[in-house]
Amino acid sequence: MWRVINRRNTSIVCRKMQSPAGKYISNFVVDNFYGGKVLKDVVAACLQSETLVQIEDFMKSNAGFFTDDEEHKLVYAEIFGKYCELIENLLEEPLRKHKTTVESFMELCGKLHDSMDDKNVQVFLDLLLTITKYEFFAELMLSSEKRDYYFYILKGWQEQTKRAQRPSARSGKK
């Protein structure tokens, strides 16, 4: 069973209510009208081991420039700019596949976030939206504990994604 929970212009967002048909309809609407296919490809690209290693190496190699001073130094903004370039380069292939830009993708993430019931998806979207914010980036760079926890979460999602993609997980067999 499914129900309409949100009506924007002429678009309708459907939500599942415990049935496979409802889930199918919800996934179809999100994939085809709200850019879910783009999000899935970006998630897959973000959670690749090589991608996580590149981001983690970048942060570790630049963390020494960040100090607990009250004032943020100009070098922080320069490093953040390089970080944004790295993220854009990592997202370039999946976004090009769907003929979209980083800006359009971030706007899409905001729309998807507002229309999704799935808390796991919302958390991931929150992470995508905040990681491009300077304040969040600076916090990660200033604290190795926060940075380690951030990558712990990403690697956990990576493992969940791998398990979900295994044939036995999709068919329900163990």
Residues in the chain: 174
Give the CATH number, domain containing residue 51.
1.20.1520.10
* Assigned token pair, 23: 């889930």
Query: How many folded domains does the chain comprise?
Result: 2
Q: Domain for residue 21, yes or no?
A: yes
pLDDT band at 18 (very low <50, low <70, confident <90, very high): very low
What value does the mean pLDDT take over residues 114-133?
Answer: 72
pLDDT band at 134 (very low <50, low <70, confident <90, very high): very high
Q: Tell me, yes or no, whether 81 and 28 share the same domain.
A: no
The per-residue pLDDT for range 54-71, each reduced to its tens digit, is: 999 999 999 999 998 888
Q: Tell me, yes or no, whether 61 and 134 share the same domain.
A: yes
Nearest residue to 151 (alpha-carbon basis) of 73, 159, 3? 159
Q: Tell me, yes or no, whether 10 and 92 share the same domain.
A: no
The rounded distance, in Å, linking the Cα atoms of 127 and 125 is 5
What value does the mean pLDDT take over residues 84-88?
Answer: 90
What value does the mean pLDDT take over residues 22-41?
Answer: 57
Give yes or no for residue 135 having a pLDDT over 50. yes
Distances (CA, A) of 83 to 30, 60, 118: 30, 12, 29
Q: Tell me, yes or no, whether 98 and 21 share the same domain.
A: no
The rounded distance, in Å, linking the Cα atoms of 49 and 32 is 28
Q: Tell me, yes or no, whether 25 and 50 share the same domain.
A: no
pLDDT of residue 83: 94
The rounded distance, in Å, linking the Cα atoms of 77 and 133 is 11
Residue 18 domain boundaries: 1-33
The rounded distance, in Å, linking the Cα atoms of 41 and 98 is 9
Whole-number percent of the chain with pLDDT over 70? 70
What value does the mean pLDDT take over residues 128-151?
Answer: 89
CB atoms within 10 A of CB 14: 20
pLDDT of residue 21: 44
Q: Tell me, yes or no, whether 48 and 134 share the same domain.
A: yes
Q: Domain for residue 173, yes or no?
A: no
Cα end-to-end distance, the chain, whole Å: 27
